[in-house]
Chain A
């Protein structure tokens, strides 16, 4: 189900939806301390704690370190890739509290106290597991450099689709549009995502 705000067409100024930029850990969040939100961070390096792919981890980072750099260099994550470093390609995409975001355009300090999931999650939830299978079956990874980001975007799209089974090719294209691929896997990616949406490929 989508959690998009729904606005009524009638009635005066009925508030029907609020937005939090980064809200609500969907999984694994239990037990983690909420962001301490110290009033000031920096200029000295600061410690961040997060749940990365289900494991609690911590790192000491300068304020200007991007989440992408923190994940790959401090925490050894292999899934996110930095190809543009400007939010333009999607290769660095991870899920923060359950939503796909470009990790190059966030700071590491932004995810203090949050859950970050990458395409490499060792205990993949069913959608992620199904997507991996479908990507292999449809040969949606050539060089594979864009693939982790593609899978995270697809995971987000499927999880938040209103009616997953009725997802159209056009919607898939639109929702995946921020993920670039130079090898030209686009056709295979669309097929793989639709195969999972329609239940043609499942985790088991």
Chain B
């Protein structure tokens, strides 16, 4: 009835071969949560599914499942689960990663969801996820969100599609310099800078990342300057388990009374994890004060262009960034 083949390759090389052979008719499956959701909704019906979890039993398993970290580095295989990231005792530089991982989705989903799958999951725009509706991202002519209901869509960087990037983990990872390692028949040991992984809809509509269909994300490697602290926080409509309404991650160092290496990333507001560069510039080399944080949080949404229903993200996001900066720099929050 529904022809579907599940291929369980012994190693990455075999996986790459199968993918190359079937082209766009084949996809990889990691935790499989996003893939199965899309299957059920009828959005994606591949013929061949390459089950990456089968690799865990083979020679590439240890690498794909390893998680290592020290003060300035973090390396995670693509099959590391969100639960493992959430329960790991990471150094302060990578606290944002742990906090993001431990607040995404719910405990059982985190147990299945993988780092690679989380980063490469497809958007949650409700038009995209509706099997009966065809929008720009699914080959249609119009962005239905732009003219319809867009409470959860982008206020920054959107157009022609106004998705927000769904990955909570991506929001945290975008704080760091790093690389994404990938395998596949063409380029078995490739890498691209993490900063180039996510692409905006003006460049690509069929995916939200720069990998090609036959490429397998194998690991992410991050680095952090000494003394960095980081944190992640989100505002949710349902407090303990919900897709964030807005999320933010930040990292900074305090050196001689001033802030250094400030990074601020906003999540669920743009088609990619969004670096709030104007805010970062405002704080770089500045003293950590209530006034500086208030101003930086305003600047964080510089250039925002809300659609009909989502201007609220700006005000909420500003408050969120401001609160996060206070916590990170240990400047007491007003009562």
Please give the residue numbers on chain A whose beta carbons come within 8 Å of chain B beta carbons, in ascending order.
Answer: 2, 4-23, 37-43, 62-64, 66, 85-87, 90, 93, 99-102, 105-107, 109-110, 153, 157, 173-175, 177-178
Could you tell me the distance in whole angstroms from the C-beta of B19 to the nearest C-beta in chain A?
14
A sample of 7 more A-B contacts (CB under 8 A), given A64-B4, A102-B108, is A7-B89, A10-B71, A14-B68, A17-B67, A22-B53, A37-B54, A101-B108
A14 to B56 alpha-carbon distance, docked (Å): 20
Residues of chain B within 8 A (CB-CB) of A10 are 70-71
Q: Mark B32-56, 1 if CB is under 8 A from A, else 0.
A: 1100110110000000000001101
Which residues from B are CB-within-8-Å of A43?
2-5
B112 at the interface (CB under 8 A from A): yes
A40 touches B6 (CB 8 A): yes
Complex interface: chain B residues within 8 A of A42 (CB):
3-6
CB of B277 closer than 8 Å to a CB of A: no
Say whether B308 faces chain A, with CB atoms less than 8 Å apart: no
Main secondary structure of the interface of A (DSSP, over half): loop
Which residue in A4, A85, A100, A157 is a CB contact (below 8 Å) of B84?
A4
| CB within 8 Å for A105 and B6 given contacts A5-B67, A178-B106 | no
In the complex, which residues of chain A have a beta carbon less than 8 angstroms from the beta carbon of B241?
A: 177-178
Give the shortest distance, in Å, between A147 (CB) and chain B (any CB): 16
Contact of B107 among A2, A13, A153 (CB under 8 A): A153
- Among B36, B69, B90, the residue within 8 A (CB) of A105 is B36
Q: Which residues of A sit under 8 angstroms from B7, Cβ to Cβ?
A: 39-40
B8 within 8 A of A: yes
Specify which chain A residues have a CB less than 8 angstroms from the CB of B39 in the assembled complex.
64
Q: How many of B's residues come within 8 Å of A, CB to CB?
A: 52
Contacts of B62 in A (CB 8 A): 18
If the complex has contacts A9-B91, A99-B111, are A18 and B67 also in contact, measured as CB distance less than 8 A? yes
Q: In the complex the two chains form, what is the Cα distance from A38 to B10 in whole Å?
A: 10
Given A99-B111, A177-B240, A18 and B65 contact (CB-CB distance below 8 Å):
yes
Is chain B's binding surface mostly helix, strand, loop or mixed? mixed
Taking CB atoms, residues of chain B closer than 8 Å to A7 are 67-69, 88-91
Q: How far is the CA of A41 from the CA of B56 in the complex (A)?
A: 18
Determine whether the beta carbon of A87 is less than 8 Å from that of B108.
Answer: yes
Contact: B240 with A174, CB < 8 Å?
Answer: yes
A19 pairs with B32, CB closer than 8 A? no
Given A6-B88, A7-B88, the answer on whether A37 and B8 have CB atoms closer than 8 Å is yes
Closest chain A residue to B110 by CB distance?
A: A178
Listed stretches B74-82, B137-145, B153-161, B324-332; interface member: B74-82
- B278 at interface, CB cutoff 8 A: no
Tell me if B1 is interfacial: C-beta within 8 Å of chain A. Answer: yes
B31 at interface by CB-CB < 8 Å: yes
Q: Scan residues 1-28 of chain B and give those whose CB is less than 8 A from a CB of chain A.
A: 1-10
- Closest A residue to B53 by beta carbon equals A21
A5 touching B240, Cβ below 8 Å = no
A19 touches B67 (CB 8 A): yes
Chain B residue with Cβ nearest A180: B241
Closest beta carbon of chain A to B281's beta carbon, Å: 31
Closest 10 CB pairs between A and B? A178-B106, A4-B87, A177-B241, A177-B240, A43-B3, A19-B84, A41-B6, A19-B65, A42-B5, A18-B65
CB of B57 closer than 8 Å to a CB of A: yes
Measured CB to CB, the closest approach of chain A to B15, in angstroms, equals 11
Q: Chain B residues near A105 (CB, 8 Å)?
A: 32-33, 36-37, 109, 112
CA distance A138 to B240 in the complex (A): 23
**A5–B87 touching, CB < 8 Å:** yes
Structural contact, A62 and B2, CB atoms closer than 8 A? yes
Q: Is the CB of B88 within 8 A of A62?
A: no
Residues of B contacting A157 in the complex (Cβ-Cβ under 8 angstroms): 107
CB atoms of B56 and A20 under 8 A apart: yes
The residue in A9, A19, A153 that gathers the most chain B C-beta atoms within 10 A of its C-beta is A19
Question: Measured between alpha carbons, how far is A18 from B65 in the docked complex, in Å?
Answer: 5
B105 at the interface (CB under 8 A from A): yes
CA A177 to CA B110, docked complex, whole Å = 12
Q: Which chain A positions have C-beta within 8 A of B68?
A: 7, 13-16
Is B79 touching A19 in the complex (CB atoms < 8 A)? yes
Considering the complex, which residues of chain B in the window 244-302 have a beta carbon less than 8 Å from any beta carbon of chain A? Answer: none
Which one of B36, B71, B73, B114 has the highest number of Cβ atoms from chain A below 10 Å of its Cβ?
Answer: B36
For B8, the closest partner residue in chain A by CB is: A37
Q: Is the CB of B89 within 8 A of A19?
A: no
Expressed in whole angstroms, the Cα–Cα distance for A157 and B111 within the complex equals 12
Given contacts A63-B5, A85-B40, A178-B241, contact A21 B70 (CB under 8 A): no
Shortest CB distance B220–A (Å): 14
* Interface-centre pick from A17, A93, A101 (highest chain B CB count, 10 A): A17
